[in-house]
Amino acid sequence: MTRRFVPAHFRLAIRRSFSGRGLFADERIPAGSCVIEYLGRPATAKQMKENRGKYLFWTSERSMIDGNIPANTARFINHSCAPNCEVDIHKRRVYVFALRDIAPGEELSYDYGEEYFEMHLAGSCRCTKCSPL
């Protein structure tokens, strides 16, 4: 199936989450939909060290996006080992797609990958699947 790299403008809301703030669906999102684009500015390795990688998204071995901008609500999508979304990098842009139907009120999540935990959380995952409330 060919993906359409155009977000469908679903109603989303930033709310309190198990880890602070999260991004939630305010309407049903069908499986396979392009939910949102991860927005930001091109970033350098120096910038990564300065802000310790928070909201930085690697798009290739040498390039990344600094998502710490007000317009980037996708930065509030939290990690899960049982995610309902996945990311797809297309022409150095990052898009978030629904892996399954997402119900209204459900928090959006994707798997950040092992490297994230090695760099930021000493290898331990704190998602709701691994650390239930």
pLDDT in tens, 4-14: 888 889 999 99
Q: How far apart are CA 30 and CA 102, in angstroms?
A: 6
Could you give the CA distance from residue 118 to residue 116 in angstroms, rounded to a whole number? 6
pLDDT digits (tens, 9 = 90+) for 56-92: 888 887 788 999 999 999 999 999 989 999 999 998 8
Task: Please give the residue that has the higher pLDDT: either 125 or 77.
Answer: 77
> Which option is the CATH number for 12-120: 3.40.50.150, 2.170.270.10, 3.40.50.300, 3.20.20.70?
2.170.270.10
Q: Which long-range contacts (CB under 8 A, 24 or more apart) does 82-85 make?
A: 82/109, 82/127, 82/129, 83/109, 83/110, 83/111, 84/108, 84/109, 85/35, 85/109, 85/110
pLDDT at 124 over 70: no
The predicted-structure confidence for 90-113, as pLDDT tens digits, reads as follows: 988 999 999 999 999 999 999 987
Please tell me the predicted confidence (pLDDT) of residue 45.
72
pLDDT at 104: 98
Q: Where are the domains of the chain?
A: 12-120
Residue 96: per-residue pLDDT? 97
